[in-house]
Amino acid sequence: MKRRRHSRIQTGRDTVVKTADPERMRVEVEKTRRALEIGRQSGLFRVPEVLDYDEKEGVVVLERIRGLRPVRNGLLARGRTALELAARSARALAAIHRDLRLPEDMRVNLPPELAAPGARVFLHGDFNGANVCRSETEPGLVILDWQMTSRHGGRATCGTRFFDVVWFLNYLLWTPGWRHLVGDPVAPVARVFLATYFHETAAGDEAELGPYAQRFFEHKQARRRELATWWQRPWLPRCQVITRRFLEGLVRKASA
């Protein structure tokens, strides 16, 4: 079996062919199929249909959904649309955490540095502003890429739901754009995202998010500079300020 760490995408007229490490692809295909149903039943999001799948080679043929735009830019723009997108993303994530189930042989826990005590759920694993999309032709969200991010080993399927929550915000905090220079574009979106997510899930463990997020960002800190592209580097101190404020806000809220 071939081993590949990163996936490859080939876009055709009506299909998208994705190739990845076969073992990881087996999990991704299973999640994609199950998520499609969750999206349909909840009416909250759409997932590309799996049209064909070669298990041995790790190749999947997906329905191509046209006119996709990652939600990131929409989330960081000012105004009602951004907040509406944040709320929709949060409702989608809450439904995923509530309803996603995988077979026992696909249960792999998060690595210790990302784990937390408390309930475990099955995770999206790479729920960020690039994999959550809008479509130009439909009103709802489209959610892609149901594989644990390779930044964190690519294999875990299950663990604290705070991982997906923090991963979503991490992407907004640390993928710099010009809006980071003129203010804090993340705070309003983060507030709505978290309030909606916790409203939907009502598990009463909101206060535990602060310490988890703090640990998460500390853990990531060392590699930030390494992973940043040359054009992102000048933004990093600014991202750091915004992240620190975000964390202070979480701690304040938890102790209020």
Ligand X SMILES: Nc1ncnc2c1ncn2[C@@H]1O[C@H](COP(=O)(O)OP(=O)(O)O)[C@@H](O)[C@H]1O
Q: Do residues 28 and 20 make contact, with C-beta atoms less than 8 angstroms apart?
A: yes
Task: Pick one of 21, 28, 145, 164: the residue that binds Mg ion (CB under 5 A).
Answer: 145
Q: How far apart are CA 162 and CA 128, in angstroms?
A: 13
- Secondary structure element (H or E) that encloses residue 63, with its range: strand 59-63
Record the tokens describing residue 240, joined without a space: 């750091």
Strands 45-46 and 141-143: parallel
210 binds, among Mg ion, ligand X, none (CB under 5 to 8 A by kind): none
* Cα Rg of the chain, angstroms: 18
SS3 at position 214: helix
For the CB of residue 100, give the shortest distance to Mg ion in the complex, in Å.
18
Which residue's CB is nearer to ligand X, number 14 or number 84? 14
With contacts defined by CB under 5 A, name the span among 37-45, 125-133, 157-165, 234-242 that binds Mg ion: 125-133
Residue 7 binding partner per list ligand X, Mg ion, none, with a CB distance cut-off of 5 to 8 Å that depends on partner kind:
ligand X
Among Mg ion, ligand X, none, the one that 9 touches (CB under a kind-dependent 5 to 8 A) is ligand X
Name which of ligand X, Mg ion, none residue 48 binds, using a CB cut-off of 5 to 8 Å depending on partner kind. Answer: ligand X
Q: Which is nearer to ligand X, 48 or 176 (CB)?
A: 48
Residue 256: partners with Cβ closer than 8 Å, 6 or more residues away: none
Q: Is 28 in the site for Mg ion (CB under 5 A)?
A: no
Closest distance between ligand X and the C-beta of residue 214, in Å?
27
Q: What angle do CA 169, 171, 176 make, to 5 degrees?
A: 120
Q: What count of Cα atoms within 13 Å lies in the side-chain half-sphere of residue 129?
A: 24
CB nearer ligand X, residue 19 or residue 243: 19
Partner touching 243 among Mg ion, ligand X, none, CB below 5 to 8 Å by kind: none
Q: 93 by DSSP, 3-state: which?
A: helix
- Residues lying near ligand X in the complex (CB under 6 A) are found at 7, 9, 16, 18, 48, 62-65, 68, 130-131, 144-145
Nearer to ligand X, 51 or 195 (CB): 51
| Residue 7 engages Mg ion in binding (rule: CB under 5 A) | no
Structure letter (DSSP) for residue 110: P
Residues within the interface to Mg ion (CB under 5 A) = 131, 145
